[in-house]
Amino acid sequence: MKKKSIVALLTTGAIATATPFFMDFLARWEGREYVVYADKLAGGLPTVCKGITKWTSPYPVVVGERWSKEKCDAVEKQVTVETQQKLAMCIRNQGITQHVFDALSSHAHNVGVNATCQSRAVRLINAGKIKAGCDALAHGADGKPVWSYANGRFVQGLYNRRLAERELCLNGL
């Protein structure tokens, strides 16, 4: 019998999307920019608000364009909810908590839902090894940092984010 994803938990409200806590956590790592800029860590990808790009935005993201606070609020919420709904489709362990889901959501917001869903962290969590899955957000099986590189170079800020996601995830145990 195939295990169900956590979509049922989202439907019942046991796990929530775009919570104020999560949006604050995201802001800690993404910041908030109202003028679209070329993100150097993402190869010049136009980015605005809390990490909104052309890959997630329902609107064009053009370098130099100014977005209002209201537009950022609306798009951030829409993108967050859509990201979390897609993420829920690949998480099969219904025993996770809001903190575990939020940690995975931050990871997905930063590296993409598909990458997070295919990650070692999600595989471990789905196998019931939640602590090991939380650890895998920041470290490989060899103990070395993962998801902390841009253009082949280690970035301390990305590693700090991975450590914060790991800590948030572990707080959910």
Q: What's the CA gap between 131 and 160, in Å, rounded?
A: 19
Q: Please list, residue by residue across 17-40, b when 16 or more beta carbons sit within 10 angstroms of its beta carbon and e when fewer do.
A: bbbeebeebbeebbebbeebeebe
- Name the domain count of the chain: 1
Tens-digit pLDDT profile for residues 54-82: 999 999 999 999 999 999 999 999 999 99
CATH code for position 80: 1.10.530.40
Q: What is the pLDDT along the chain (173 residues), one digit of tens a residue?
A: 456 789 888 988 899 999 999 999 999 999 999 999 999 999 999 999 999 999 999 999 999 999 999 999 999 999 999 999 999 999 999 999 999 999 999 999 999 999 999 999 999 999 999 999 999 999 999 999 999 999 999 999 999 999 999 999 999 89
Q: How far apart are alpha carbons 42 and 135 in whole angstroms?
A: 24
Amino acid identity at 61: V
Domain membership of residue 94 as a residue range: 7-171
- Domain for residue 71, yes or no? yes
